[in-house]
Chain A
Amino acid sequence: MSQLPKLINEPLPDAEAQCRQLAELIRPQLHHNPALVGIFSGGAWIAERLKELLDLPEEVGMIDVSFYRDDFAEKGLHPQCRPTLIPFDVEGRHLILVDDVLYTGRTTRAAINELFDYGRPASVGMAVLADRGERELPIAATYCVWEVALTDGQNLVLGRKDDGQLAWRLEHA
């Protein structure tokens, strides 16, 4: 954790500008014809944005990992789960999972497991706007714009405003 820059306080970076940076990190890989899969809800918004910025012809996938979470025994089923929608054939494709914040890695683990129930992808990458460290699994982002450390009780949340613009906010437990 110590190598990560400490987040002192707001103002937070512009999430829309970060989406543009993330798109440029992915652009050199477009010759692989990757398919994007956004993790609900923040990751799905970012995946939609990346599709526009990279001018991808294909619909992005949306994944809700509620049925694959490892804390079902403690927390039960999330009261609001949405259908996972993968509108392309996963078999043999290069996939890029998209999420807003990479933290423990448990959501990523669940998403990878779920994707494999659709077929065997050629590869799975991971694109995130923010990496807040403190991983509990051997998982890393392939594309990341912002490395940030938070203090206990702080939570970084991506929201979507009425005009569709994405913006960060900091929540305190």
Chain B
Amino acid sequence: MHNPQLNKDGELIHLMSIEGLPQRILTQILDTAQSFMEVSAREVKKVPLLRGKSVFNLFFENSTRTRTTFEIAAKRLSADVINLDINKSSTAKGETLLDTIDNLCAMHANLFVVRHASSGAPYLIAEHLQRIGRDDVHVVNAGDGRHAHPTQGLLDMYTIRHYKKDFSQLRVAIVGDILHSRVARSDIHALTTLGVPEVRAIGPETLLPKYMDKLGVQVFHNMEEGLQDCDVVIMLRLQNERMTGALLPSAGEYFRHYGLTPQKLARAKPDAIVMHPGPMNRGVEIHSAVADGPQAVILPQVTFGIAVRMAVMSIVAGN
């Protein structure tokens, strides 16, 4: 089946999901990001790659970290960045998504960074661009519904490669609300594609999807067992609204079973790293002693995220 993210030469033109991307493209993005890390350490933290191009941040859902890091990334590539406040824009007045896109194309947009509550919204935009013959305009998914958050998945892979060097010997645990998590889905696809032999999902039955085994993931409901001898622990944010949806008894109860405490972390390897996509709920999914402890790499993840987003934008915009 044709992957709409790739052109006929197999090059990346949009980034919508990690699912279906070959390992060589993931590795190319990580390698390119490594070169961009060096740019951020210079006197002048800018390269001229996207000079004269316009990047539109279309965030139909709230986000601070992702939107800001995309904005910084685009600015370091010398692009002009336009942040649309969708809640106050034409969408609120009833304009359809594709009419909004047509209008922004008329303003000479080159790249859309899209976050949307509906899964598949970036695909809809990419299909539309193809239909109207605008193959010079690119789409990067910054999170769509429960489906995918590919740049978060990639920055997580960058973080793992940075600290662990090699994917082929790792045991990685993802802990928490996997059912509602687009980050978890992107991480699982990326880990599998990059050759991680053992991926574990840890969480209560109500928050784990039924199809985990089809993704090649081992399921654990007991956190101590699941963390045993892991190299990497990826914590997920527990969305407060899950508590009201009767999927969980209480935040305190959740923390007792699935909150990452120093005691539970001691079951993992002594050099295991702890990751979290943010924003963190201290005392709900993670104990402050872990979040601020020596094994946490949560803030480096944010820094790596800028380089990874620079890599993704410069690769798609060049193809």
- Please give the residue numbers on chain A whose beta carbons come within 8 Å of chain B beta carbons, in ascending order: 64, 66-68, 72-73, 75-77, 79-85, 113-114, 116-119
Q: Give the distance in Å from the alpha carbon of A76 to the alpha carbon of B318 in the complex.
A: 4
Q: Which of A68, A75, A83, A119 counts the most chain B CB atoms within 10 A?
A: A83
B35 touches A (CB below 8 Å) = yes
- Interface of chain B residues 13 through 47 with chain A (CB within 8 A): 28, 31-32, 34-39, 42-44, 46-47
B46: which A residues are within 8 A, CB to CB? 117
Contact B42 A118 (CB under 8 A): yes
Closest to B25 in A: A79
| CB<8 Å pairs between A and B, sample of 15 | A64-B35, A66-B35, A67-B35, A67-B36, A67-B39, A67-B47, A68-B47, A77-B32, A80-B28, A80-B31, A81-B31, A83-B35, A113-B48, A116-B44, A117-B43
Which of the four size classes fits the interface of chain B?
A: 20 to 34
Contact B31 A68 (CB under 8 A): no
B11 touches A (CB below 8 Å) = yes
Q: Give the distance in Å from the alpha carbon of A73 to the alpha carbon of B319 in the complex.
A: 8
A64: which B residues are within 8 A, CB to CB? 35
Q: Give the distance in Å from the alpha carbon of A64 to the alpha carbon of B318 in the complex.
A: 17
B315 touches A (CB below 8 Å) = yes
B288 touches A (CB below 8 Å) = no
| Known contacts A68-B48, A113-B48; A76 and B11 CB within 8 A of each other | yes
Helix, strand, loop or mixed for chain A's interface?
loop
* Minimum CB–CB distance for A81 against chain B, Å: 5
A-B contact count (CB 8 A): 51
B49 touches A (CB below 8 Å) = yes
Contact A118 B43 (CB under 8 A): yes
| Contacts A76-B315, A84-B35, A116-B44 supplied; 18 other A-B pairs, CB < 8 Å | A66-B35, A67-B39, A68-B47, A72-B49, A72-B318, A73-B318, A76-B11, A76-B318, A77-B49, A81-B32, A81-B35, A83-B34, A83-B35, A85-B38, A114-B47, A117-B46, A118-B44, A119-B43
Q: Which of A67, A85, A118 counts the most chain B CB atoms within 10 A?
A: A67
Closest to A67 in B: B47
A114: which B residues are within 8 A, CB to CB? 47
Q: Give the distance in Å from the alpha carbon of A116 to the alpha carbon of B42 in the complex.
A: 10
A85: which B residues are within 8 A, CB to CB? 38
Contact A83 B38 (CB under 8 A): yes
A79: which B residues are within 8 A, CB to CB? 28
| Known contacts A84-B38, A118-B42; A77 and B314 CB within 8 A of each other | yes
Contact B42 A75 (CB under 8 A): no
| Known contacts A68-B47, A118-B43; A77 and B315 CB within 8 A of each other | yes
B11: which A residues are within 8 A, CB to CB? 76
Contact B47 A75 (CB under 8 A): no
* Minimum CB–CB distance for B276 against chain A, Å: 27
Contact A82 B42 (CB under 8 A): no
A113: which B residues are within 8 A, CB to CB? 48
Q: Which of B36, B48, B315, B318 contacts A75 (CB 8 A)?
A: B318
Q: Give the distance in Å from the alpha carbon of A73 to the alpha carbon of B31 in the complex.
A: 21
Q: Give the distance in Å from the alpha carbon of A76 to the alpha carbon of B319 in the complex.
A: 5
| Known contacts A76-B318, A119-B43; A83 and B48 CB within 8 A of each other | no
* Minimum CB–CB distance for A114 against chain B, Å: 8
Q: Give the distance in Å from the alpha carbon of A117 to the alpha carbon of B290 in the complex.
A: 39
Closest to B37 in A: A83
Closest to A74 in B: B318
Q: Give the distance in Å from the alpha carbon of A116 to the alpha carbon of B35 in the complex.
A: 17
Q: Which of A77, A83, A118 counts the most chain B CB atoms within 10 A?
A: A77
Closest to A77 in B: B318
Q: Give the distance in Å from the alpha carbon of A67 to the alpha carbon of B51 in the complex.
A: 11
* Minimum CB–CB distance for B137 against chain A, Å: 14
* Minimum CB–CB distance for B277 against chain A, Å: 25
Q: Give the distance in Å from the alpha carbon of A119 to the alpha carbon of B11 in the complex.
A: 35
Q: Which of B31, B34, B35 counts the most chain A CB atoms within 10 A?
A: B35
Closest to A90 in B: B43
Q: Which of B46, B318, B319 counts the most chain A CB atoms within 10 A?
A: B318
* Minimum CB–CB distance for A64 against chain B, Å: 7
* Minimum CB–CB distance for B35 against chain A, Å: 5
B42: which A residues are within 8 A, CB to CB? 117-118
**Closest 10 CB pairs between A and B?**
A76-B318, A67-B47, A117-B44, A83-B38, A77-B318, A83-B35, A76-B319, A81-B35, A77-B314, A77-B315
